[in-house]
Structure 1
């Protein structure tokens, strides 16, 4: 009774003689201390405690995210069955014939091989292992993205202005030359203009979506419709990245590990693994690496997407930064 009467007394309105004094509405008793807000005062100029800003959760996702991965699986299952790929075989043969004239020869398997032809085969094999039902354009890119690239030396840097604008134009012209050379081979094999345009976009890095920055509303439409065309394009970009990273780990990483300092090898591996998928990482870690090489690969693994946002939420902005002003560098001797 005493507690109930005190609770009722705390909510009574002040008498008329005290109408000028502010009216304080207190919180109800027996509430947890953590849920009590500051008293709300009417008729007073007391400063109110501002509410903390609401931080919207990041909407960035990848093809491995739980909301996107089922759509990718459905897209792969909905692909038409591949009965015959005679046109692809013809195109790849034309690319191999051109790259067989590569003056750069490398030793592999006890034999001398044209380097660009061998690299194209390595990349095609990785694409086949990662996505055997991929479109023809992806296999053509894997086999011929460096087609006849030894002739790029004919595009002289001295023919362009000696500034950053000239440098960018020179690099763009080199890419355009490779793209034009590869699309000419595709037309000779009988591919359509749409397929040639897609390969050209890949070669020039033009209008390509980023599989590390895809959102659910990008690939879905009203009434549950799914943009399978965009999903296929995202999958092609991701598969090509994964294949290039696996070729690097298979062919280049072991020699780098034996001949270069560990910090240089670590930086190179981090660059190669920066945009790969979970499937690529699982494939890389399943290989029989020596203990030290496996330890270095473990240090080079990329952080999960959104990890910086997690650190900022848990430990503050400084914890998610590598700037020397970070609290972790407070005892660092800069001299």
Structure 2
């Protein structure tokens, strides 16, 4: 049976992310970092919103496509440099994804929708953009937060959590509080949302 356009698009996104030279270890196995991240995004999105649209599923999968190609240190190490880096990344992620979607035969309207989501336009105003943002925050909290918290002092961690929490919807908050987190992680979250 021939794969669908959607399946082919996902496979091509994965193929690009599998080229990530950075690896991440899980249960003693090495994974290309962005490939693992993108698969976690898909899994978390479908746990959170089982009826997510195809456009939203592709945007979640491609959210960090080829992220390693633009290093953080290519930009000034301040807030302005960080924001410029993030904007440049979003544009690259959207452009690469658009090329893939065009290649597999999606129309321009669908491609523009996916780009709109990857660029995280109208967070808090657009339902799907908000779902994508919630999913990003849930993936961070579920898979990367504990490790992040070990490397930074509690004040910085609480500040990051406060910002993360602020980007999320009420539904996202409820989902986050269902995650299996350590007592330490939960107490930091409680401090952040107090």
TM-score range, shorter chain: 0.7 to 0.9
Bigger Cα Rg: 1
Cα deviations by residue, 1:79-100 (Å, 9 ceiling, x for unpaired): xxxxxx9322111011111111
CA-CA distance at 1:167 after TM superposition: 9.6
State the structure with bigger RCO (CA 8 A, min sep 6), 1 or 2.
Answer: 2
Query: CA 1:172–1:286 in structure 2 vs 1: closer, same or farther (change >3 Å)?
Result: closer
Asked whether 1:125 is paired with 2:60, we answer no
CA-CA distance at 1:149 after TM superposition: 2.5
What is the CA–CA distance in structure 1 between the aligned matches of 2:112 and 2:17, rounded to whole Å?
22
Q: The residue matched to 2:31 in structure 1 has which SS?
A: strand
Residue in structure 2 matched with residue 104 of structure 1 by the alignment? 22
What is the CA–CA distance in structure 2 between the aligned matches of 1:181 and 1:293, rounded to whole Å?
35
Residue in structure 1 matched with residue 122 of structure 2 by the alignment? 209
Structure showing the higher helix proportion among its residues: 2
Out of 141, 156, 159, the residue aligned to residue 59 of structure 2 is 141
TM-score, length-normalised on structure 1? 0.50
Q: The residue matched to 2:162 in structure 1 has which SS?
A: helix
Cα deviations by residue, 1:89-143 (Å, 9 ceiling, x for unpaired): 1110111111111111111122110011110011111110111111111111111
Query: CA 1:262–1:174 in structure 2 vs 1: closer, same or farther (change >3 Å)?
Result: closer
What is the CA–CA distance in structure 2 between the aligned matches of 1:116 and 1:168, rounded to whole Å?
20
CA-CA distance at 1:237 after TM superposition: 1.1
Query: CA 1:134–1:256 in structure 2 vs 1: closer, same or farther (change >3 Å)?
Result: same
Q: How many residues align?
A: 187
Out of 157, 176, 179, the residue aligned to residue 284 of structure 1 is 176
Structure 2, unaligned runs of 5 or more: none
Out of 113, 129, 145, the residue aligned to residue 253 of structure 1 is 145
Residue in structure 2 matched with residue 228 of structure 1 by the alignment? none
Runs of 4+ off more than 6 Å: 165-171
Asked whether 1:179 is paired with 2:94, we answer yes
Contact 2:59-2:115 within 8 A present in 1 as well: no
Cα deviations by residue, 1:140-174 (Å, 9 ceiling, x for unpaired): 11111221232335xx76xxxxxxx9998876555
Q: The residue matched to 2:14 in structure 1 has which SS?
A: helix
Asked whether 1:195 is paired with 2:132, we answer no
Structure 1, unaligned runs of 5 or more: 1-84, 158-164, 212-232, 303-335
What is the CA–CA distance in structure 2 between the aligned matches of 1:113 and 1:267, rounded to whole Å?
30
Query: CA 1:250–1:168 in structure 2 vs 1: closer, same or farther (change >3 Å)?
Result: closer
CA-CA distance at 1:234 after TM superposition: 2.0
Out of 147, 154, 179, the residue aligned to residue 262 of structure 1 is 154
Query: CA 1:290–1:171 in structure 2 vs 1: closer, same or farther (change >3 Å)?
Result: closer
Q: The residue matched to 2:70 in structure 1 has which SS?
A: helix
Query: CA 1:96–1:170 in structure 2 vs 1: closer, same or farther (change >3 Å)?
Result: closer
Q: The residue matched to 1:274 in structure 2 has which SS?
A: helix
CA RMSD of aligned residues (A): 2.8
TM-score, length-normalised on structure 2? 0.83
